[in-house]
Structure 1
Amino acid sequence: MNQSHALLLLLVQVIVLLPLHCLSDDFVSSRATYYGSPDCKANPRGHCGYGEFGRDINNGEVSGVSWRLWNNGTGCGACYQVRCKIPPHCSEEGVYVVATDSGEGHGTDFILSPKAYGRMARPGTENQLYSFGVVDVEYQRIPCRYAGYNLVYKVHEKSYNPHYLAILVLYVGGVNDILAVEVWQEGCKEWIRMRRVFGAVHDLQNPPRGALTLRFLVYGSAGINWVQSPNAIPADWTAGATYDSNILLT
């Protein structure tokens, strides 16, 4: 892809993403339902690629979001405050959820984990709220806060050193979206774009040998910026390993 085509693609992504970052001050009306899950958790095969991590992050208070909010995977990991609007069953604070999947039905923007759905209720009225199945809600995008974590990523289990590298972006703080990931190729003195496979998973066939330096294209309140990780992936990287980029996003 040449530079002009890459720039055009990024501009299109920004136009699509702009409404998401306007949600931090205003609530938006929508609807929400919940997963039919025997263990009260979310789907481990979600479109973000988080697997079991996507069921347990944020104490299991997670949600699948509409295709519009999912935005081809860029919306994975976004945090929202969601509160229902059925007095007297609903609490004022509602619930804080992390987007780990996509899906919609009955005009919903959120398919909450059963645990998250119940948290919208006032104490003692959870069963009544569950009985509605689908409820009117209002929501806003809020900053993600992961105590003790910077931007963290995991080498996907399907990676195979040195022939194939895939990474899964796990923690992204603040109100920020990862638009792209690139790997530095020292021999050619250039950055190589990783492919967004799906959700929060990016990959590269035949990555450069040796330690790998990554940079992330971040879209947030400061606009669009490339942020380079000062922590390189070691040359002997293995599938399943997790690395802290040492990039702090606020």
Structure 2
Amino acid sequence: MDALKALVLYLIMLHTCKITATNATYGEWKTATATYTKEKDGSIIIEGACGYGDLHRETYGKYSAGLSSMLFNKGSTCGACFEVRCVNHILWCLRGSPSIILTATDFCPPNYGLSADYGGWCNLPMEHFEMSEAAFTEIAVRRAGIIPVQYRRVKCERKGGMRFTTSGSSDFYQVLITNVGLDGEVIAVKVKGSRTGWIPMARNWGQNWQSNVNLTGQPLSFEVTTSIGRTLTSYNVAPANWQFGQTFAGKQF
């Protein structure tokens, strides 16, 4: 009996440690730099390396950011949320260092022809955020070229369910996954038709996932796993008569 109590106590302590470790990871402030691009440019608001398309339609809007290679992680970080604040600059930072929540939606490519402090902000091993002008001016003055910031990963607060947008053809099925809550970072996806088992999908680019199985004419279910190991299954998200180009809502973390 004493051994059983000890085992139960050990399991509770182990679970608590895991939760504490996760929260600590999300709560740690790290240093980086940030700049902005004008919204009319479109690279942050309209398109991006994560494949989200019109970011206003996808609810990310002005609070979108392009990440340097160190943060982008070859597209795996797409959809992740970061709290960012300007620090340690009396001229550029707004008083009180207010923070904003940004979603990773794009890639900030390196420019090795320029130094890291003059244009090469996204060169390795720099950690850098390129955000919209509207978001930038909520933490710093507009005339600042580049600012020192602190950032940390935070939980993504999303309204409604995850969204699954279909594209491709009968021999090449692709789904774009957006509006993901929790840590926002999808690392694995499975799809299931009414005539198939669970089929692992491969990352095509950003948060576009692909399969070469013909799924037309079948209701579709999705299993989504995020970077912290949480898995959520949405059954029969798309009806049997779904069409390419349509968007369907599933469950939310």
Write the distance in 2 (CA, Å) between the matches of 1:81 and 1:57. 17
Write the distance in 2 (CA, Å) between the matches of 1:153 and 1:176. 14
Offset at 1:176? 4.2
What TM-score, normalized by structure 1, do the two folds share? Answer: 0.75
- Superposed CA offset, 1:145-201 (max 9, x none): 123x12222223xx23x333211111111224211111225556x322112110010
Kept in 2, the 8 Å contact 1:168–1:201? The answer is yes
Write the distance in 2 (CA, Å) between the matches of 1:181 and 1:151. 13
How much identity, in percent, do the aligned residues show? Answer: 25
Write the distance in 1 (CA, Å) between the matches of 2:183 and 2:240. 32
Match of 2:208 in 1: 201
Match of 1:136 in 2: 148
Q: Secondary structure at the match of 1:130?
A: coil
Larger Rg: 2
Kept in 2, the 8 Å contact 1:181–1:214? The answer is yes
What TM-score, normalized by structure 2, do the two folds share? Answer: 0.75
The letter of the residue matching 1:240 is G
Match of 2:131 in 1: 112
- 1:106-185 correspondence runs (5 A): 106=121, 107-121=126-140, 129-147=141-159, 149-156=160-167, 159-160=168-169, 162-184=170-192
Match of 2:52 in 1: 50
Offset at 1:225? 4.1
Offset at 1:20? 9.5
Match of 1:72 in 2: 74
**1:61 and 1:177, CA in 2 relative to 1: closer, same or farther beyond 3 A?**
closer
Write the distance in 1 (CA, Å) between the matches of 2:149 and 2:57. 22
Offset at 1:101? 0.4
**1:206 and 1:58, CA in 2 relative to 1: closer, same or farther beyond 3 A?**
closer
Kept in 2, the 8 Å contact 1:41–1:55? The answer is no
- Of 106-115 and 226-235, deviating more is 226-235
Partner of residue 87 from structure 1, selected from 67, 87, 90: 90
The letter of the residue matching 1:87 is I
Write the distance in 2 (CA, Å) between the matches of 1:54 and 1:74. 21
Offset at 1:228? 1.7
Write the distance in 2 (CA, Å) between the matches of 1:112 and 1:142. 17
**1:56 and 1:235, CA in 2 relative to 1: closer, same or farther beyond 3 A?**
closer
Write the distance in 2 (CA, Å) between the matches of 1:53 and 1:59. 5
Q: Secondary structure at the match of 1:131?
A: coil
Kept in 2, the 8 Å contact 1:41–1:115? The answer is no
Offset at 1:54? 6.1
Unaligned runs of 5+ in 2: 1-20, 110-119
Unaligned runs of 5+ in 1: 1-18, 122-128
**1:55 and 1:30, CA in 2 relative to 1: closer, same or farther beyond 3 A?**
farther
Compute the RMSD of aligned alpha carbons.
2.6
Kept in 2, the 8 Å contact 1:83–1:94? The answer is yes
**1:93 and 1:23, CA in 2 relative to 1: closer, same or farther beyond 3 A?**
farther
Write the distance in 1 (CA, Å) between the matches of 2:57 and 2:65. 9
Kept in 1, the 8 Å contact 2:187–2:227? The answer is yes
Aligned residues: 215
